Copies of this chain bind each other. A is one copy, B any other.
Amino acid sequence: MIYPIVISQFSKMLGNLLTILDKAAVHAESKKFDVDVLLQARLSPDQFNLMRQIQVACDTAKLAAARLADKEQDAPKHEDSETTLGEIKDRLQNVIDYLHTFKVVDFASAAERRITQPRWKGKSLSGEEFLIQHALPNLYFHVTTSYAILRHNGVEIGKMDYLGALPYKQ
């Protein structure tokens, strides 16, 4: 179930963020303010602003795939230098494209692989623990907080924009 979560669903959620950002741009235009103002908005003075929330959502998805497939050295680098809506949309699309380079077989040993990162100072999680207790809650935290910042600022988006289309069968 790792590929459907980390590749199919994470790329879907980043795509939903692109849709939500387009709605934010329409809102800003109709209210005659610069949409980039929204990228500086935050819910609390000591919480990340919208730009940083999206950057971290991108990194969470990118590094979850890269680490679970043991291909971290191949992951695209991003310098967190975006300042405009167009630039952060490009980064979202770049990560979506990167996710689509993975195949199901890349995750064959992922659940048991030991995963670590520099800030954990030598400690590690199993791939399954990393996915379920770290990557998933972090990805959704930053996507939902991005949504919440825009919602709080009056952008007309709804839960369906966040969830995206569902593959219902009759």
Distance between A131 CB and nearest chain B CB, rounded to angstroms: 8
* Interface size range on A against B: 35 or more
Total copies of this chain within the assembly? 2
Closest to A152 in B: B43
Closest to A159 in B: B141
Query: A77 at the A/B interface (Cβ < 8 Å)?
Result: no
Which residues does chain B contribute within 8 Å of A163, judged by CB atoms?
133-134, 137-138
Q: For residues 1 through 55 of chain A, which have their beta carbon under 8 Å from a beta carbon of chain B?
A: 1-2, 4-5, 8-9, 12-13, 43-44, 47
Q: A167-B125, A170-B123 are in contact. Are A140 and B133 (CB under 8 A)?
A: no
Partner of A136, one of B128, B140, B154, B167: B140
| Distance A9 CA – B140 CA, assembled complex (angstroms) | 14
> A122-155 CB contact bits vs B (8 Å, 1 = yes)?
1111001100111011101100110110011010
Closest to A136 in B: B136
